[in-house]
Homo-oligomer: A and B are copies of this chain.
């Protein structure tokens, strides 16, 4: 078994980006819009800020009060859409209930939507066109590429169908010629599918939902789960149980989770180039 080391792939990506950014005329601009003071959101926003500063991006953080109105946040986004120094806009999720999350995600200019969550970017992805794509599934594709694991013709089984991971990953895998199966909470006999997977992706958010009997010998396992229990992190896969029968596996932590910020950094640079064109 070989570990798929997200930290290593992340470092590679960030080093390459840093070098590229150093040669640009203008620093790519990233703005994170945060509503309220959710502690988890604070951590994620902090990671983005750290990445941006490390790469020499122009970073700003717009903090809105937790009872901000829809009108006000739309005004903020309109301003950022029009601002020529801003290449990428992120609205940190989740948003408080008074706000229309979907509408806000779709208000961000398509070419500044570096989280790739808008309907438009999702449509471009499924149509296999150039798009800004969601960061976590993009990170999975980059880990596989780094380790030269070809997906063409492979039986790829994705467990979980979120707009953030499962669905966009299915599109990316299909665009790379994998045969793709999407399983979820309504799937009957989950193990029947997972046991056949050459590449098995678990993106459910439930500790140990993938047990050794559900995994084919020699499979590649991508564990997207981040389950915090009593202060410890667990994936969706019973790592100890499966590690001796698989060919590759992403650890938790240190696997897919590492990639999200690196992919965001890539998206910001992509947005920069699209806008500069």
Q: Which residues of A contact B (CB under 8 A)?
A: 102, 118-124, 126-127, 129, 152-155, 161, 163, 167, 170-171, 174, 177, 179-184, 186-188, 193
Query: With A127-B122, A188-B153 in contact, do A182 and B179 touch (Cβ < 8 Å)?
Result: yes
Partner of A179, one of B102, B118, B174, B181: B181
CB of A263 to closest CB in B, whole Å: 19
B residues near A118, Cβ cutoff 8 Å? 123
Q: Are B179 and A183 in contact (CB under 8 A)?
A: yes
Give A155 to B121 CA distance when docked, in angstroms. Answer: 28
Q: Are A181 and B180 in contact (CB under 8 A)?
A: yes
CB of A176 to closest CB in B, whole Å: 9
B residues near A171, Cβ cutoff 8 Å? 126
- Secondary structure of the A contact surface, majority rule: mixed
Give A170 to B126 CA distance when docked, in angstroms. Answer: 11
CB of A75 to closest CB in B, whole Å: 24
B residues near A129, Cβ cutoff 8 Å? 102, 119
User: Which residue from chain B places its CB closest to the CB of A193 in the assembled complex?
Assistant: B179
Partner of A161, one of B122, B174, B184: B174
B residues near A127, Cβ cutoff 8 Å? 102, 119, 122, 163, 167
Q: Are A186 and B121 in contact (CB under 8 A)?
A: no
CB of A273 to closest CB in B, whole Å: 20
Q: Which of A119, A120, A129 has the most CB of B within 10 A?
A: A119
Q: Are B181 and A177 in contact (CB under 8 A)?
A: no
Give A187 to B188 CA distance when docked, in angstroms. Answer: 23
Partner of A126, one of B123, B152, B154, B183: B123
Q: Are A126 and B167 in contact (CB under 8 A)?
A: yes
B residues near A170, Cβ cutoff 8 Å? 170, 182
Give 22 A-B contacts (CB < 8 Å), ordered by A residue.
A102-B127, A102-B129, A118-B123, A120-B120, A120-B123, A122-B123, A126-B126, A126-B163, A126-B171, A127-B167, A152-B186, A153-B186, A153-B188, A167-B174, A174-B182, A174-B184, A177-B186, A179-B181, A179-B188, A180-B181, A180-B182, A181-B181
Give A177 to B181 CA distance when docked, in angstroms. Answer: 13
Give A33 to B184 CA distance when docked, in angstroms. Answer: 41
